């Protein structure tokens, strides 16, 4: 077996049931994902065309040997989706605490062309809140129905297809479809009317 990256071996160990492999795997992937995310998203300006799912895809190509079978790939994606959610939420929470200078002076020294002024700051604030609300709703969902919360996490943060989710969870496509439809409707209703 190739020793291209320890991730490959750990991934295979985890899939055949070695839970300790997951413990080793998570920090490795976390660090990579965070670094790459910071780098990759920095280059994107308008349009937000680069989604986390694309990043997961890219990371997979770099960390895992090409010859691993696609079930490992599905597991890797599932893992990444969880980590990605943590990264984004941690960051959003840290950002919420930040005091911002909301003045109208425009100094653009940035690569992305995001010129911040009062309304932009407002906008960013909203984006941060959106993600934190989504995360909270997902947490509530998990207390009611862990499986559904995990499915949404895989789909939204990791971009897993039904087939990949099927590999990870052992569920049929029709079950996945039903579960996700219900879960998404529930989350939307949750986000539309925040609990008091």
Partner 1 sequence: MSHASDSSSWGEVEALFHAALELPADERTAFVEQSCSTSPDIRDQVLLLLRHDAQASGFTRIVGDAACHLAVPPARDGSVVGAYRLLTRIGEGGMGVVYSAERADNLYVKRVAIKLVNTALVSDELRQRFMSERQILAALEHANIARLLDGGSTDDGSPYLVMEYVQGLPLDEYCDRRALGVRERLELFVKICGAVHYAHQQLVIHCDLKMSNILVADDGEPRLVDFGVSRLLSNAGGEEAASEGSRPRRLTLRYASPEQVRGDVPRTATDGYVLGVILYELLTGMWPHDVAADDQAAVMQAILEQIPRLPSRVATPVRARQLRGDLDSILMKSLQKETTDRYESVARFSEDVTDYLALRPVMARAGNWHYRLRKLVRRNRVASMATTVLLLSALAFTATLAERNRQVAAQRDVAAFERDKAQAVTGFLADMFAQATPDVAQGRDITVRAVLDSAGESLTDSLDNSFADNPLVAATIRRTIADVYLSLGLLDTAEPHIEFALATLRREGQTETEDYVRALAAKDILLGLRFEHEQAKAVSEESFAISSRVLGDNHPLTIAALNSLGVKHHMTGNLTLAMTIFEEIYRRQVARLGERHPLTIRALRSVGIIHHWLGHYTRAEQHYRDCVALARDVMGERHSLTLGCLSNLGSVLETTGRYVEAEPIIRQHLAQARDVLGDDHPETLRSMHNLADVYRGLGRIAEAGDLFQKTLERRREALGDAHVETLQTQMKLARLFRQIGDHDRALPLMKDTLTRQRDTLGETHPTTLIAAQEMADLLLARDEHEAAGALYLSILSARESALDYEHPDSIATLAGLAEVRLVQGNLAGYEQLMRRAITLADSHPRVSVPDFAESRQAFLRFSDAVSASMPDMRASAETH
Q: Which is nearer to partner 1, 1 or 107 (CB)?
A: 107
What is the C-alpha end-to-end distance of the chain, expressed in Å? 55
The DSSP 8-state label assigned to residue 17 in this structure reads: T
With a CB cutoff of 8 Å and minimum separation 6, the contacts of 132 are 89, 92, 93, 96
Given candidates 23, 127, 172, 173, which one binds partner 1 under the rule CB under 8 A?
A: 127
Residue pair 119/77 in contact (Cβ under 8 Å)? The answer is no
Q: How far apart are CA 175 and CA 5, in angstroms?
A: 35
Mask of contacts with partner 1, 2-31, x by CB under 8 A?
A: ------------------------------
Q: Out of 2, 20, 98, 119, name the contact with partner 1 by CB under 8 A.
A: 98
Contact set for partner 1, span 71-90 (CB under 8 A): 87-88
Which of 6, 27, 39, 122 lies at the binding interface for partner 1 (CB under 8 A)? 39
Name the segment binding partner 1 (CB under 8 A); options: 8-16, 17-25, 66-74, 188-196.
188-196
User: Of 68 and 187, which CB lies nearer to partner 1 in the complex structure?
Assistant: 187
Asked if 118 interacts with partner 1 (CB under 8 A), we say no
| Rounded-to-integer distance, Cα 43 and Cα 94, Å | 21
Is the distance from CB of 84 to CB of 170 less than 8 angstroms? Answer: no
């Amino acid at each position: 077996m190739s020793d291209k990256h320890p991730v490959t071996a750990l991934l295979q160990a985890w899939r055949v049931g070695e839970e300790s492999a997951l413990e080793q795997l998570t920090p490795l992937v976390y660090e990579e994902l965070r670094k790459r995310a910071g780098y990759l998203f920095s280059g994107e300006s308008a349009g937000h065309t680069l989604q986390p799912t694309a990043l997961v895809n890219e990371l997979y190509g770099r960390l895992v040997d090409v010859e691993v079978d696609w079930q490992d790939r599905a597991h890797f994606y599932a893992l990444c989706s969880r980590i990605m959610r943590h990264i984004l939420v941690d960051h959003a929470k840290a950002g919420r605490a930040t005091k911002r200078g909301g003045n109208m002076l425009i100094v653009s020294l940035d690569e992305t062309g995001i010129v911040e002024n009062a309304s932009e700051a407002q906008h960013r604030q909203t984006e941060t809140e959106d993600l934190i609300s989504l995360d909270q709703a997902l947490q509530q969902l998990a207390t009611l129905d862990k499986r559904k919360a995990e499915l949404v996490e895989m789909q939204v943060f990791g971009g897993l297809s039904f087939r990949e989710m099927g590999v990870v969870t052992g569920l049929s496509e029709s079950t996945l479809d039903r579960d996700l439809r219900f879960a998404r409707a529930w989350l939307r209703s949750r986000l539309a009317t925040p609990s008091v």
